[in-house]
């Protein structure tokens, strides 16, 4: 057993939490995984230790999300524990108690965006983003790469880091033309201050081990080598598995373990994966062993059949071309038509499939030549009429910092909505301005 | 009247307890080359001094299997394992003797047979074992608690040439293949030696005309009846420390969260109590280089005791233990010890004070310290280390993983309210330990025979795992060998009732008519829907029941 690493596994199956009794995101999702890990005795191995999650605080959530009307309203205790599991993973690695950590927790989070009104794509709050900003708050402004290997586009994580040049977000997923959430195309490359820091790799249905590992070797690894992150985080969704009921890919437990070994992430966080009997027990075992530097060659699904899972030459050819194109986009992203030191704007409509909320967003980012730029948005749903979010980034220049406070002041005086959320990552100041403070009467009489 | 005997590492203790309290005690030295002699001697002594009333129950704790495993006095075992896909073989095949054989076959987590046992290969391996004249076997397959059929086939294959076979799922119904494997191996490897000892015990009992039921102590602080212990010798490891812990419960009235320190000559054993009950190792005790599935009271042993040597390392750091060089200098030992430091500090007055003082003085002067300083620091180091280790153990227990939101958010934390200190140096160190822990401290009387008292008073324990699948319509209780049909409406409530009644039924058939339904507690009870194609189909039900370690209540009043 050479090159073994001390792996911390934060296993939290949330046996008392489900979206609904027959929803894929239900109580026993990790039951068979736990049976498998227990029967294999992995937690008795000298270099694998099981840990209990922490409970994330609302401050951990509000550090990164604009939650309307409040984090209390859009998350439950389960979400705090899952996010707390990710935080525990971060703490263990940053305090060097372990070499690697795997937060094997649910509910998942990678569809949760910057603005949160409820649940979309089975997610409320973004576990990876909460983990990353926890690290930056307590251990310095680290350069971080997130590799999202869930079959669904990690649109939430992408939205959160769209304007952050210090975070590289790479998502491998089934082509959005064939699967929820219908985004994640090659030309989505990040905002004006972070061009090329968002990389999408939409793979065709029926991509197998060969295709995934080709992308890792020929695209993901070279990009990461170029970016030189301090930490690599894997959003370890397991629904690329050939047995997954919601998707159409042909990835295997061996493939997932190989991918993890190549990627060598400091921290992995479970995302989706709904073949709870046929895939998850084996994929999770493979990832745990690979992260611990142990032999995973004997991990195999009982129904695994290599011949049935081979990808066609057309798929191979398509993926090769996609990789060449994407590499070009990373190295030399097509420029956006923006004016330096002015606001660039985008309109977005975000649909919350689970909660049936439709969100109209208007977002502005300062195209700053000195920092990531102050971010300012308004968001409107039938549930929370009009809300505002202002964010001063962690690397803010004086101008953007002052601009953030100017926006806040102006919002206090003139905003006709319900809530303003203010995030100042630079000075670690976080504010909520509620409706009654926004009305002129309250300002004069309370 | 109850008779408790603990054949321990140094001494063999016996005690007779009647309703008025301790009626007689006896202590002899343990002869490791012949444990039966020690048993005979202690019986001779206690029965000649004890009252005339008849003995109604005998409980015996012995180091036999512990010593056999530690001393590697193990019989060669044919180990036949079926792992299927998963962990690489070198993660689980160590410390299992010279005859480990991995066979082809596979059962999955649901208990489905995915690949049948390779019959031809299995027969060849069995024939090979015969050529090597192996007479005892351990057969273990992965996921056998979910489906025992591969293990049953293997047991059948070796039956003609085997004197004894341990079958994995009969050892434990819990999931943990490597632990089951190690436990089955040890159980087989000590079987012959244990049974020879058991035969001799039978003779002794007859010789002294004792015809009360005989029980053997287990590592979880409970007992197993003598006859059943013959096929489960592994259950008797580490029963001595468990007996001591049970003794402490008898001697004091522990009802709260507490820390128990048993300070001996060379080590201090730490145990943690929750609501007055000792905590068990989560999955089983680690022993002889392997994690096993043997249920055991969780104790943590550190190398500090009354006779621990005081040394100063090259950095000038004062160290206590872990070596014991001999008795304290006060008793003409070779090197200053913790007890010598206590003598210097006038905390006790043991043996020759002058020898303690001159011993510490010499060591102090070599290191430019005053004698007083050295004594202070040595004592301080010992107390701090004990406290640090105890709090670390407590933290580990409080940080144990749990799997529901409810338990994470509202789960109970253990907050010790009381410190119990026993062992030779207990009276000397207890007040100081009480100060450093900032806890009320108690030193129970009669702690010198706490082990034998614990042995005498403890009751039987038992654990089962029940696994029901309403889709397959089967119910399994692996360690009782129960497999039967259920109907598709079988419920969690029914499973809990069945778990309890099966334990009671089994124990009634095995010499424990006193056990009632109320003695059994349901530790875990979970039911999950198995959803197929987005509709709720069948249920997987898991129930775990146990009889917790407990004491004979009728006799407790007299002891206190």
User: pLDDT tens digits, residue range A200-242?
Assistant: 999 999 999 999 999 999 999 999 999 999 999 999 999 999 9
Q: With contacts defined as CB-CB under 8 Å, which chain B residues touch A282?
A: 85
Q: List phi, psi (to 5°) of B138.
A: -130, 125
| pLDDT at A446 exceeding the cut of 70 | no
Report CA torsion sign: B179, B180, B185, B188: positive
Q: Could you tell me if residue A1 is inside a domain? A: no
The answer on A211 and A293 residing in a single domain is yes
| Closest approach of A113 to chain B, Cα-based (Å) | 24
Test the B interface: residue of A20, A27, A29, A40 with most B CBs within 10 Å: A40
Task: Measure the CA–CA gap between A40 and A33, rounded to whole angstroms.
Answer: 11
For residue B158, the tally of other CB atoms under 10 A from its CB is 22
Q: Could you tell me if residue A158 is inside a domain? A: yes
Inter-chain residue contact A300 with B85, CB threshold 8 Å: yes
| Closest approach of B471 to chain A, Cα-based (Å) | 14
CATH number at residue A73: 3.40.800.20
Last residue of a domain, one of A331, A355, A377: A331
The pLDDT score that the predictor gives to residue B409 is 84
Q: Contact, B516 vs A15, CB < 8 A?
A: no
The pLDDT score that the predictor gives to residue B300 is 87
Q: Please report which confidence band the pLDDT of residue A441 belongs to, taking 50, 70 and 90 as the band edges.
A: very low
More confident residue, A121 or B103: B103
| Closest approach of B370 to chain A, Cα-based (Å) | 40
Q: Could you tell me if residue A338 is inside a domain? A: no
Q: Contact, B82 vs B66, CB < 8 A?
A: no
For residue B39, the tally of other CB atoms under 10 A from its CB is 25
Low-confidence ranges of chain B (pLDDT < 50): none
| pLDDT at A148 exceeding the cut of 60 | yes
For residue A50, the surrounding DSSP H or E stretch is strand A48-51
Inter-chain residue contact A16 with B404, CB threshold 8 Å: yes
Q: Do B253-443 and B2-70+193-247 fall under one CATH topology?
A: yes
Inter-chain residue contact A26 with B534, CB threshold 8 Å: no
- Which of A16, A39, A295 is closest, CB to CB, to B142? A39
Q: E strands of B158-306, at which residues? A: 164-167, 214-217, 223-225, 258-263, 268-274, 277-278, 286-287, 290-291, 299-302
Q: Contact, B275 vs B268, CB < 8 A?
A: no
Question: Token pair of B64, please?
Answer: 């036999």
| pLDDT at A5 exceeding the cut of 90 | yes
How many structural domains does chain A have? 2
Residue whose C-alpha is closest to residue B408's, from A52, A245, A243: A52
The pLDDT score that the predictor gives to residue A241 is 96
Q: What is the per-residue pLDDT across B442-495, written as a single tens digit (0 to 9) for each?
A: 998 888 788 899 999 999 999 999 999 998 999 999 999 999 999 999 999 999
The answer on A351 and A204 residing in a single domain is no
The answer on A93 and A50 residing in a single domain is yes
3-state secondary structure of A90: helix
Q: Please report which confidence band the pLDDT of residue A442 belongs to, taking 50, 70 and 90 as the band edges.
A: very low
The pLDDT score that the predictor gives to residue A426 is 95
The pLDDT score that the predictor gives to residue A2 is 58
Domain B253-443 homologous superfamily, CATH: ATPase, nucleotide binding domain (3.30.420.40)
Catalytic residue, from A65, A111, A152, A153: name it.
A111
Give the ipTM: 0.92
Q: Contact, A139 vs A94, CB < 8 A?
A: yes
The answer on A214 and A163 residing in a single domain is yes
Q: What is the per-residue pLDDT across A314-364, written as a single tens digit (0 to 9) for each?
A: 999 999 999 999 999 999 999 899 999 999 999 999 999 888 899 999 999
pTM for the complete prediction? 0.93
The pLDDT score that the predictor gives to residue B532 is 65
- Which of A22, A45, A78 is closest, CB to CB, to B535? A22
The pLDDT score that the predictor gives to residue B535 is 54
Q: Please report which confidence band the pLDDT of residue A438 belongs to, taking 50, 70 and 90 as the band edges.
A: low
Q: Could you tell me if residue A337 is inside a domain? A: no
Inter-chain residue contact A14 with B540, CB threshold 8 Å: no
Instruction: Say which residues have a Cβ less than 8 Å from residue B220's Cβ, sequence separation at least 6.
Output: B242, B280, B295, B296, B297, B461, B549
Q: List phi, psi (to 5°) of B157.
A: -60, -35
CA separation (Å) from A158 to A79, A112, B463, B522?
A: 20, 10, 50, 47
Q: Could you tell me if residue A123 is inside a domain? A: yes
Inter-chain residue contact B109 with A21, CB threshold 8 Å: no
For residue A372, the tally of other CB atoms under 10 A from its CB is 25
- Which of B90, B109, B405 is closest, CB to CB, to A14? B405
Supply the range of the domain harboring residue A367.
343-445
Placement of tokens 């993926």 in the chain: A319
The residue extents of the domains of chain B are: 2-70+193-247, 77-189, 253-443, 462-557
Question: Mean pLDDT throughout A416-430?
Answer: 93
Last residue of a domain, one of A300, A331, A362: A331
Q: Is B95 left (phi over 0), alpha (psi -120 to 50) or beta?
A: left
Task: Measure the CA–CA gap between A306 and B226, rounded to whole angstroms.
Answer: 54
Topology (CATH) of B77-189: Rossmann fold (3.40.50)
The answer on A370 and A305 residing in a single domain is no
| Closest approach of B202 to chain A, Cα-based (Å) | 39
Report CA torsion sign: A229, A231, A236, A242: positive
- In degrees, rounded to 5, the angle at the alpha carbon of residue B115 between the alpha carbons of residues B109 and B119 is 130
The answer on A301 and A364 residing in a single domain is no
Q: Could you tell me if residue A265 is inside a domain? A: yes
Report CA torsion sign: A296, A300, A301, A302: negative
Q: Could you tell me if residue A336 is inside a domain? A: no
Task: Measure the CA–CA gap between B333 and B355, rounded to whole angstroms.
Answer: 9
Topology (CATH) of B2-70+193-247: Nucleotidyltransferase; domain 5 (3.30.420)
Instruction: Say which residues have a Cβ less than 8 Å from residue A69's Cβ, sequence separation at least 6.
Output: A384, A387, A418, A419
Last residue of a domain, one of A274, A303, A331: A331
- Which of A16, A38, A40 is closest, CB to CB, to B405? A16
To the nearest whole number, what is the mean pLDDT of chain A? 94
Q: With 0-12 CB in 10 A as exposed, 13-18 as middle and 19+ as buried, what is A306?
A: exposed
Q: Please report which confidence band the pLDDT of residue A436 belongs to, taking 50, 70 and 90 as the band edges.
A: low
């Amino acid at each position: 057993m050479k090159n073994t690493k001390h792996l911390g596994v934060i296993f939290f199956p949330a046996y008392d939490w489900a979206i609904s009794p027959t929803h894929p995101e239900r109580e026993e999702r990790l039951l068979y995984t736990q049976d498998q890990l227990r029967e294999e005795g992995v937690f008795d191995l000298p270099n694998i230790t099981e840990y209990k999650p922490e409970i994330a605080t609302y401050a951990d959530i509000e550090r990164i999300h604009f939650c309307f009307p409040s984090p209390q309203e859009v998350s439950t205790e389960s979400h705090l524990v899952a996010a707390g599991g990710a935080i525990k993973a971060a703490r263990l690695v940053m305090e060097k108690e372990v070499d690697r950590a795997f937060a094997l927790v649910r509910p998942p989070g990678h569809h949760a965006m910057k603005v949160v009104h409820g649940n979309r794509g089975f997610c409320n709050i973004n576990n990876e983003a909460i983990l990353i900003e926890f690290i930056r708050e307590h251990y310095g402004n680290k350069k971080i790469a997130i590799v999202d290997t869930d079959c669904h586009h990690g649109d939430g994580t992408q939205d959160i880091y769209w304007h952050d040049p210090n975070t590289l977000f790479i998502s491998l997923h089934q082509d959005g033309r064939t699967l929820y959430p219908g985004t994640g195309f090659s030309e989505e490359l990040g905002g004006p201050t972070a061009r090329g820091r968002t990389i999408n790799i939409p793979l065709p249905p029926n991509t197998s081990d060969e295709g995934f590992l080709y992308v890792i070797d020929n695209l993901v690894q070279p990009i990461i080598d170029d970016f030189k992150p301090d930490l690599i985080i894997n959003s370890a969704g397991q629904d690329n598995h050939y047995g997954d009921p919601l998707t159409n890919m042909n990835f295997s437990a061996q493939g997932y373990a190989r991918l993890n070994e190549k990627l060598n992430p400091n921290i992995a966080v479970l995302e989706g994966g709904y073949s709870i009997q046929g895939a998850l027990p084996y994929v999770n075992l493979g990832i745990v062993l690979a992260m611990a530097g142990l032999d995973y060659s004997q991990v195999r699904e009982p129904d695994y059949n290599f011949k049935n899972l081979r990808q066609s030459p057309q798929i191979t050819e398509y993926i090769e071309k996609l990789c060449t194109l994407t590499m070009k986009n990373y190295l030399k992203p097509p420029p956006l038509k923006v004016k330096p030191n002015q606001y660039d704007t985008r309109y977005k409509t975000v649909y919350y499939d689970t909660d049936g909320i439709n969100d109209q967003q208007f977002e502005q980012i300062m195209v700053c030549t000195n920092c990531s730029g102050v971010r300012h948005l308004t968001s409107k749903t039938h549930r929370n009429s009009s809300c505002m979010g202002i964010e001063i980034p962690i690397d803010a220049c004086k101008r953007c910092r002052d601009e953030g406070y100017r926006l806040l002041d102006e919002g206090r005086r003139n905003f006709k909505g319900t809530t303003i959320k203010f995030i100042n990552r630079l000075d670690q100041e976080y504010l909520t301005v509620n409706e009654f403070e926004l009305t002129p009467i309250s300002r004069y009489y309370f | 009247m109850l008779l408790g005997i603990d054949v321990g590492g140094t001494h063999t203790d016996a005690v007779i307890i009647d309703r008025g309290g301790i009626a007689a005690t006896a202590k002899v030295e343990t002869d490791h080359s012949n444990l039966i002699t020690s048993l005979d001697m202690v019986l001779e002594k206690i029965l000649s001094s004890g009252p005339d009333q008849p003995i109604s129950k005998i409980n015996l704790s012995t180091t036999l299997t512990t010593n056999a495993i530690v001393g590697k006095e193990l019989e060669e075992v044919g180990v036949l394992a079926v792992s299927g896909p998963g962990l690489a073989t070198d993660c689980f095949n160590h410390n299992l003797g010279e005859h480990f054989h991995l066979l082809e076959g596979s059962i999955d987590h649901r208990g489905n047979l995915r690949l049948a046992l390779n019959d031809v290969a299995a027969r060849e391996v069995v024939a090979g074992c015969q050529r090597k004249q192996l007479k005892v076997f351990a057969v273990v397959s992965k996921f056998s608690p979910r489906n025992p059929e591969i293990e049953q086939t293997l047991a059948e294959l070796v039956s003609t040439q085997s004197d004894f076979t341990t079958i994995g799922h009969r050892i434990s119904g819990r999931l943990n293949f490597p632990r089951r494997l190690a436990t089955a191996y040890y159980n087989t490897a000590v079987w012959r030696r244990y049974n020879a000892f058991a035969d001799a015990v039978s003779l002794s009992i007859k010789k002294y005309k004792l015809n009360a039921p005989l029980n053997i102590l287990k590592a979880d602080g409970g007992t197993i009846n003598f006859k059943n212990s013959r096929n489960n010798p592994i259950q008797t490891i580490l029963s001595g420390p468990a007996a001591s812990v049970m003794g402490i419960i008898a001697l004091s009235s522990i009802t709260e969260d507490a820390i128990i320190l048993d300070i001996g000559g060379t080590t201090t054993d730490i145990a943690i109590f929750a609501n007055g009950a000792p905590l068990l190792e989560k999955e089983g005790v680690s022993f002889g280089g392997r994690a096993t599935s043997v249920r055991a009271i969780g104790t943590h042993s550190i190398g500090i005791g009354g006779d621990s040597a005081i040394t100063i390392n090259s950095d000038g750091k004062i160290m206590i233990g872990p070596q014991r060089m001999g008795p304290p200098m006060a008793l003409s030992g070779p090197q200053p010890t913790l007890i010598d430091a206590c003598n210097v500090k006038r905390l006790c007055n043991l043996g020759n004070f002058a020898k303690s003082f001159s011993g510490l003085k010499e060591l102090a002067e070599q290191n430019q310290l005053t004698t007083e300083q050295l004594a202070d620091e040595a004592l301080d180091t010992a107390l701090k280390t004990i406290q640090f280790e105890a709090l670390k153990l407590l933290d580990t227990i409080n940080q144990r993983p749990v799997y529901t939101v409810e338990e994470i958010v509202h789960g109970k934390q253990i907050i010790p309210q009381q410190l119990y200190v026993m062992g030779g140096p207990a009276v000397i160190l207890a007040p100081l330990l009480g100060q450093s822990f900032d806890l009320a401290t108690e030193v129970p009387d009669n702690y010198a025979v706490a082990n034998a008292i614990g042995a005498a008073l403890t009751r039987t324990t038992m654990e089962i795992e029940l696994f029901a699948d309403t889709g397959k319509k089967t119910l399994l209780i692996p360690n009782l060998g129960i497999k039967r049909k259920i109907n598709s409406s079988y419920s969690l409530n029914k499973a809990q009732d069945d778990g309890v009644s099966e334990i009671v039924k089994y124990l009634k058939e095995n010499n424990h008519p006193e056990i009632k339904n109320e003695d059994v507690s349901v530790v875990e009870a979970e039911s999950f829907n198995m959803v197929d194609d987005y509709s709720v189909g069948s249920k997987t039900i898991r129930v775990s029941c146990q009889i917790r370690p407990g004491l004979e209540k009728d006799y407790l009043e007299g002891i206190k």
